[in-house]
């Protein structure tokens, strides 16, 4: 039986930063992630340019994930992909974690970082729509270039849909947005951008059916109902952003049920502690007053969760860790990085 100090359930931003910080605090760390890749729901929007992560230049989400994964690997945690945690129980002070394949993992503490659970996009409820998923019906943007000079219909009015519509403005020939409600619910500044570009926004509107092209391989027209009327719209591509179904996969044994909100989010008892000693939470899964689910918040949660896990294992441990970058663990790495930097500066000076 290999016993870990911390087992992190979920390899999204909260889990990845927890792994980094846990290594910094000398804890033997493991990440269990259900998907074949790390990064969590940032993988839903790989092309999006992130502007709101403190101190980071604007960068595409896929690069941000790569940076997070590299940082998480700094102290070489054990990482198990394709591993869905199904049940957590506590036996003789050790957490016993069972996965979908029947494997069992053992840990002194747990950090639950499962975000919104296992997400899958809510599909377009139109007969036969699924057969166009291989061609021009999309539930995410994987490569903006694909939409160059196309007429794209975006269905949805929340942040996800409107962020995509704004990105498409730079490549698509035309963007049309339809939304079933009276008002778009996305950030005002993004909605403003659409309006400035003269994007057609149809409210109180829904896709009623789709009409395929002659070869029946792709959607050619979309039939839209709006306020009792019906319209046909010629399209090249259809992008659906109707939210996500969430699988509440993770269960806890009866004697270690953390306090939950809405039967799902773990209610924070302060400092990312849950109501069960030894189980901590970080990122979108943890709920407290005025919580905003953003990337920056996941990092602070992760630090608190890890520091409390450390304290749980070793009550004598320094309560708040240390100013991270002053940690002596970086001394050797700093030397290497500074030498590299010095070499680069020398080479560029010599070549002038
Ligand atoms: C469309 C969209 C755009 C966004 N844009 C921004 C933005 O511009 N700026 C910003 O700051 N934030 C943005 N966010 C929010 C940000 O992505 C989240 O706050 C962040 O990803 C939360 O990280 P997390 O690690 O808590 O959860 P997640 O990213 O959800 O990661 C949780 C991980 O846990 C795994 N998991 C779940 N259940 C299990 C299980 N039982 N066993 C094993 N693994 C499991 C999941 O597969 C996933 O990898 C956006 C979110 C969305 C949906």
- 173 plus 200 within the same structural domain: yes
CB of 281 within 6 A of ligand 1: the answer is no
Q: What is the pLDDT of residues 299-344, one digit of tens each?
A: 999 999 999 999 999 999 877 666 778 888 888 888 888 988 888 7
- 236 plus 255 within the same structural domain: no
In angstroms, the CA 34 to CA 40 distance is 10
Q: What is the pLDDT of residue 352?
A: 66
Which range, of 155-169, 223-237, 245-259, 295-309, averages the lowest pLDDT? 245-259
In a domain, 348, yes or no: no
**Looking at the DSSP assignment, which residues form a beta bridge with residue 244?**
121
Q: What is the pLDDT of residue 340?
A: 87
- 263 plus 325 within the same structural domain: yes
Look up the ipTM and state it: 0.99
- 112 plus 7 within the same structural domain: yes
In a domain, 347, yes or no: no
Q: What is the pLDDT of residue 129?
A: 94
Choosing from 180, 209, 242, the residue where a domain stops is: 242
In angstroms, the CA 203 to CA 190 distance is 16
CB of 246 within 6 A of ligand 1: the answer is no
- 134 plus 188 within the same structural domain: yes
Choosing from 242, 271, 288, the residue where a domain stops is: 242
- 103 plus 251 within the same structural domain: yes
Cβ distance 296 to 53 under 8 Å? yes
CA distances to 77, 148, 226, 312 from 174, rounded to whole Å, are 46, 10, 20, 56
Among residues 229, 235, 166, the alpha carbon closest in space to that of 195 is found at 166
Atom of ligand 1 nearest to the CA of 85: 42
Residue 91 is given by DSSP the state E
Tokens of 346: 């020398």
163 is in an annotated binding site: no
Q: What is the pLDDT of residues 90-140, one digit of tens each?
A: 999 999 999 999 999 999 999 999 998 888 899 999 999 999 999 999 998
In a domain, 15, yes or no: yes
In angstroms, the CA 24 to CA 40 distance is 22
Could you tell me how far CA 245 lies from the centroid of its own chain? 14
In angstroms, the CA 286 to CA 294 distance is 12
Q: What is the pLDDT of residue 321?
A: 65
CB of 132 within 6 A of ligand 1: the answer is no
Choosing from 213, 242, 271, the residue where a domain stops is: 242
41 is in an annotated binding site: yes
Confidence of residue 143 (pLDDT cuts 50, 70, 90): confident
CB of 117 within 6 A of ligand 1: the answer is yes
- 68 plus 111 within the same structural domain: yes
Q: Please tell me whether residue 292 adopts helix, strand or coil conformation.
A: coil
Q: What is the pLDDT of residue 33?
A: 97
For the chain, how far is it from start to end, CA to CA, in angstroms? 59
Cβ distance 259 to 275 under 8 Å? yes
Q: Please tell me whether residue 207 adopts helix, strand or coil conformation.
A: strand
2 Cα–ligand 1 center, Å: 29
CATH code, domain carrying 111: 3.50.50.60
CB of 156 within 6 A of ligand 1: the answer is no
Among residues 224, 185, 223, the alpha carbon closest in space to that of 202 is found at 224
Average pLDDT over residues 65-86: 97
Question: How many domains is the chain built from?
Answer: 2
Radius of gyration of the chain (CA): 24
Give the CA diameter of the chain.
Answer: 73
Among residues 223, 233, 242, the alpha carbon closest in space to that of 161 is found at 242
In angstroms, the CA 180 to CA 207 distance is 9
3-state SS string over 2-48?
CEEEEEEECCCHHHHHHHHHHHHCCCCEEEECCCCCCCHHHHHCCCC
Range of the domain at 67: 3-119+245-338
169 Cα–ligand 1 center, Å: 25
232 Cα–ligand 1 center, Å: 36
- 137 plus 272 within the same structural domain: no
In a domain, 349, yes or no: no
338 is in an annotated binding site: no
45 is in an annotated binding site: yes
- CA dihedral sign of residues 179, 182, 187, 193: positive
Q: What is the pLDDT of residue 329?
A: 83
CB of 104 within 6 A of ligand 1: the answer is no
CB of 274 within 6 A of ligand 1: the answer is no
| Mean pLDDT, rounded, of the chain | 93
119 Cα–ligand 1 center, Å: 9
Residues contacting 257, CB < 8 A, separation 6+: 276
311 is in an annotated binding site: no
294 Cα–ligand 1 center, Å: 9
Q: What is the pLDDT of residue 320?
A: 67
24 Cα–ligand 1 center, Å: 23
The residue whose C-alpha atom lies closest to atom 19 belonging to ligand 1 is 294
Q: What is the pLDDT of residue 344?
A: 79
- 194 plus 219 within the same structural domain: yes
Query: What are the contacts of 194-202 at 24+ separation with CB within 8 A?
Result: 194/162, 194/165, 194/166, 194/169, 197/169, 199/165, 199/169, 199/175, 200/176, 201/176, 201/177, 202/176, 202/177, 202/178, 202/226
In angstroms, the CA 139 to CA 153 distance is 12
Neighbours of 145 (CB within 10 A): 7
Q: What is the pLDDT of residues 236-291, one digit of tens each?
A: 999 999 999 988 778 999 999 999 888 788 999 999 999 999 999 999 999 999 99
Q: What is the pLDDT of residues 18-67, one digit of tens each?
A: 999 999 999 999 999 999 999 999 998 888 889 999 999 999 999 999 99
Q: What is the pLDDT of residue 343?
A: 85
């Amino acid at each position: 039986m290999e016993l870990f100090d911390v087992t992190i359930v979920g390899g999204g931003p909260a889990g990845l930063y927890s792994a980094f910080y846990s290594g910094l605090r000398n804890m033997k760390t493991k990440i269990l992630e259900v998907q074949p890749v790390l990064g969590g729901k940032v993988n839903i929007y790989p092309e999006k340019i992130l502007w709101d992560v403190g101190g980071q230049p604007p960068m595409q989400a896929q690069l941000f994930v790569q940076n997070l994964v590299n940082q998480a690997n700094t102290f070489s945690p054990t990482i198990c992909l394709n591993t869905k945690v199904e049940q957590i129980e506590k036996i003789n002070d050790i957490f016993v974690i069972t996965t979908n394949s029947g494997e069992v993992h053992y840990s002194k503490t747990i950090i639950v970082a499962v975000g919104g659970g296992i997400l899958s996009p809510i599909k377009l409820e139109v007969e036969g729509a699924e057969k166009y998923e291989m061609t021009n019906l999309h539930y995410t943007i994987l490569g903006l270039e694909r939409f160059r000079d196309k007429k794209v219909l975006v269905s949805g009015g929340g942040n996800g849909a409107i962020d995509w519509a704004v990105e498409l403005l730079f490549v698509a020939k035309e963007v049309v947005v339809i939304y079933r409600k009276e008002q778009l619910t996305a950030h005002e500044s993004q909605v403003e951008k659409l309006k400035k570009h003269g994007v057609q926004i149809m409210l109180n509107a829904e896709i009623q059916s789709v009409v395929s092209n002659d070869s029946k391989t792709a959607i050619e027209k979309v039939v839209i109902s709006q306020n009792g009327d019906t319209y046909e719209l010629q399209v090249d591509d259809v992008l659906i952003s109707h939210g996500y179904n969430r699988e509440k996969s993770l269960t806890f044994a009866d004697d270690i049920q953390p306090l939950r909100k809405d039967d799902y989010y773990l209610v924070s008892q302060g400092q990312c502690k849950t109501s069960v000693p030894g189980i901590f939470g970080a990122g979108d899964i943890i709920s407290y007053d005025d919580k905003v689910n953003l990337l920056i918040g996941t990092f602070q949660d992760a630090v608190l969760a890890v520091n409390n896990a450390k304290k749980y294992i070793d009550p004598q441990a320094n309560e708040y860790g240390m100013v991270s970058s002053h940690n002596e663990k970086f001394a050797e790495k700093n030397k290497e990085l500074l030498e590299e930097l010095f070499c680069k500066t020398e080479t560029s000076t010599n070549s002038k």
